[in-house]
Structure 1
Amino acid sequence: MSTTLHLNWQAISPERSKLGESPFWHPHEQMLYWVDIPGRELLRCNVFTGHIEHWALPSEPGCVAPARAGGLVLALRDGVYRARDWGGALQRLAGFSHDPRTTRFNDGRCDPQGRFWAGTIYEPRDRRLGELFSVDAREGGKPTLALRAINNVVSNGLAWSPDGRTLYWADTQDHRIDAWTFDPTSGALRRHRLFAQLPPKPEGFRSDDMAAAAAYGGRPDGAAVDVEGNYWSAQFEGGRLLKFSPAGELLAEVPLPARCPTMPCFGGDDGRTLYVTTASNGRPAAEAERWPDNGRVLAARVDVPGLPVNFFAEG
């Protein structure tokens, strides 16, 4: 039986993103990174001073990860790019066959071995054309691109278990989270199974109907995993996180002061600060009073630390 876990949430800055996503804590820089997808920018924050730096990008960034050799790897609308320095040149690592007019990259991160994974979103959302790719640059030379999973609409919720043997991937549109047995050596996915199925959005739902909004629990967006293997899933339009056990049992509901959380991550020196990005773009005015932190990055302390960010590896 699940419980309600009330945390002391604070915004790290008054600034709001349109659609904040892909947060990670950089342990060497002691900075929090995230992207604003429609804002077409990458942000990083000194959480001790609240100062935020902005980097304007040529197209929508779906996700970002740090690289072991310094700099970053980013999935933009049309491909995966390497940035050696903050604000510097973008080197294209891999191109893809999808049509960037209808499809772009969304949620992603690195696996424990240093491969970069990113999923796509099919923006018309009327066909299951979302895919999951990995980019492997560990051998040097041209990075190896692999298609790992298909049959999705809105790729989200990518994460690994603490032992690196389970991969999670969500389809936000279907309110569904799946799991696979993960082979760390090859990156192959086996034993596909349903991890969690959330209730669908009620028929005729309107986001400006506050009564209906209060009854809707949201749909799975980005996620993070703690050291005990629990999967923390942001529930977009649900104003909450859900904490699942490794077996898929719902352990806790975590209310938030923002209606549309997009992705959590763990950070700080001890891994016990939980950060959550949120969205403000297109939200009805009636939400402002009840959800005052729409668009802001939120932080709270937790008892169990989370897994640290994985770095992109190059040969």
Structure 2
Amino acid sequence: MIPNPAYAPEAWQTVTQHIATLGESPFWHPYEQMLYWVDISGKQILRANIYMGTVEAWDLPSEPGCIAPAASGGLVMALRDGVFRAQAWGGPLQLLTTLDYDPSHMRANDGKCDALGRFWVGTIDETRTLHNAALFCVDARNSGHTGTPQVRCMINPTDLPAATANGLAWSPDGGTLYWADTPSHTVWAWNHDQTSNSLSTQRVFADFKAKPVGWLPGTLDANNGGYRGRPDGAAVDVQGNYWVAMFEGRRVCQFAPDGSLLAEFAVPLQCPTMPCFGGEDLKTLYLTSARHHRNAAELAAFPLSGSVLSMRVEVPGLPVNFFQD
């Protein structure tokens, strides 16, 4: 599919002058009217006042894979060595729980909260040789005086071998959960019973052509075996359409709930990482990106790599879900 000319790379705007190494996990805070995101390899949480053009950076002791706002204030975050709570920006970190993985070669990656305020965290195998990534759910709603949340492994390597958890999102009614393994070039979907918090009926939602041997950034589609990137982070709009950033693909794809491709949006950088919807009307699509481990030629060709971009869209997105504790 040829990208809609109305959404060519020139349709995107640069949100701030700040460049992250590995930007991820963006969300729009509706009460603060600010955009939050993380720089994983830079070990920072970032937030921007879009209207003032200012950015604040919060240095952390280890890599933040994902973050979410908390209903009682502050943030919940998944760092390399556990899930932490901070009551205020830049405040002290309280360890809520650890997850069942070896932090010497694994860390938290893509994650967010569901509509009931449970924090879901996927993991990544940094060696890229093991398929032991998993998806955990941290439920602190009934932790009481102990302060210890319930942790469940919702998708484990025995059921679905995966290396890099990504693409987490839910349909507007919460009845469908989406999750991707980036190296497998596949997005799956499950039926999700929110009350019992159970998953069933796993199926392939979207799959993409694998990366050919010898591929180089900037290679034209006709000469690269059809490779156009692999699925990274995702978001869902109010109509249930699934928007996914295609890492190395210079595009964002919009899929209908039935898995059919509705549109492609060309991006002026090689490695978009994750979209989110924001602004007062939730019709601004924000997009993080990466420059981590990209070669000099690519960075010279795409100097916006690592920045946050924005684009106006016709259909509003779902608002961010808040962590409940």
**TM-score range for the pair, normalised by the shorter chain length:** over 0.9
From the superposition, tell whether residues 214 and 278 of structure 1 become closer, same or farther in structure 2 (CA, over 3 Å).
farther
- Residue aligned with 1:125, SS: coil
1:261-293: CA deviation from partner (whole Å, max 9, x where unpaired): 000000000000000000112222222454231
> 1:271, 1:19 → 2: CA distance?
24
After superposition, give the CA deviation of every residue in 1:1-50 in whole Å (9 maximum; x if it has no partner). 77535152111112110000000000000000000000000000000111
The whole-number CA distance in structure 1 between the counterparts of 2:92 and 2:141 is 21
- 1:148-202 C-alpha deviation (Å, 9 max, x unpaired): 0022110000000011100000000100000000011121111111101110001
> What is the SS of the residue equivalent to 1:287?
helix
Hey, what's the Cα distance between the residues in 1 that align with 2:223 and 2:32? 39
TM-score under structure 1 length normalisation: 0.96
Secondary structure of 1:194's aligned partner = strand
Give 1:43's match in structure 2, choosing from 46, 55, 66: 46
State the TM-score, normalized to the length of structure 2: 0.93
Q: Deviations over 1:233-277 (max 9, x none)?
A: 000011100110001101111001111000000000000000000
Match of 2:153 among 147, 161, 166: 147
Query: Are the aligned partners of 2:221 and 2:228 in contact in 1 as well (CA < 8 Å)?
Result: no
2:57 matched to which residue of 1? 54
> Match of 1:255?
266
From 170, 178, 186, give the equivalent of 2:188.
178
Does residue 166 of structure 2 align to residue 156 of structure 1?
yes
Q: What is aligned with 1:235?
A: 246
Q: Give the distance between the partners of 1:14 and 1:214, measured in 2 at CA.
A: 34
Q: Give the match for residue 303 of structure 1.
A: 314
- Check whether the contact 2:3–2:266 (CA below 8 A) recurs between aligned residues: no
Mapped to 2, the partners of 1:180 and 1:97 lie a distance apart of: 23
Q: Which amino acid aligns with 2:324?
A: A
Q: In 1, Cα distance between the equivalents of 2:221 and 2:252?
A: 19
Give distance in 2, aligned partners of 1:108 and 1:213. 34
* Alignment partner of 1:203 is 2:209: no
The Cα of 1:126 is off from its aligned counterpart by 1.5
Cα-Cα RMSD: 1.6
Which amino acid in structure 2 is aligned with residue 239 of structure 1?
R
For the residue of structure 1 that corresponds to 2:116, the secondary structure is coil
Q: Distance in 2 between matches of 1:232 and 1:311?
A: 20
SS in 2 for 1:130: coil
**Contact 1:210–1:286, Cα closer than 8 Å, also in 2:** no
Find 1:17's aligned residue among 15, 20, 26.
Answer: 20
Name the CA distance, whole Å, in 2 between partners of 1:134 and 1:281.
28
Residue pairs, 1:86-165, within 5 angstroms: 86-141=89-144, 142-150=148-156, 151-165=161-175
Q: Residue 72 of structure 1 corresponds to which residue in structure 2?
A: 75
SS in 2 for 1:152: coil
Distance 2:179 2:279 in 1: 25
Matched, 1:6 2:7: yes
Equivalenced residues, count: 313
SS in structure 1 of the partner of residue 155 of structure 2 = strand
Taking structure 1 as reference, are residues 9 and 168 closer, same or farther at Cα in structure 2, changes over 3 Å only?
A: same
CA distance in 2, matches of 1:69, 1:22: 20
Matched, 1:168 2:178: yes
3-state SS, counterpart of residue 173 of structure 1: helix
Q: Which stretches in structure 2 are left out of the alignment for 5+ residues?
A: none
Contact 2:117 2:322 in 1 (8 A): yes
Once the two structures are TM-superposed, the CA of residue 79 in structure 1 deviates from its matched residue by 1.1
Partners of 1:213 and 1:293 lie apart in 2 by 25
1:273 maps onto 2:284 in alignment: yes
State the distance in 2 between where 1:89 and 1:293 align: 33
Residue 204 of structure 1: CA displacement? 2.4
Amino acid at match of 2:177: L
2: CA distance, partners of 1:214 / 1:185: 48
Percent pairwise identity: 55
Question: Is the 8 Å Cα contact of residues 206 and 212 (structure 1) preserved in structure 2?
Answer: no
Deviation at 1:214, TM superposition (A): 7.9
CA shift, 1:81, in A, is: 0.6
For structure 1, the residue ranges without an aligned partner over 5 or more in a row are none
Residue pair 1:213, 1:237 contacting (<8 A) in 2 also: no
Residue 213 (structure 1) shift: 11
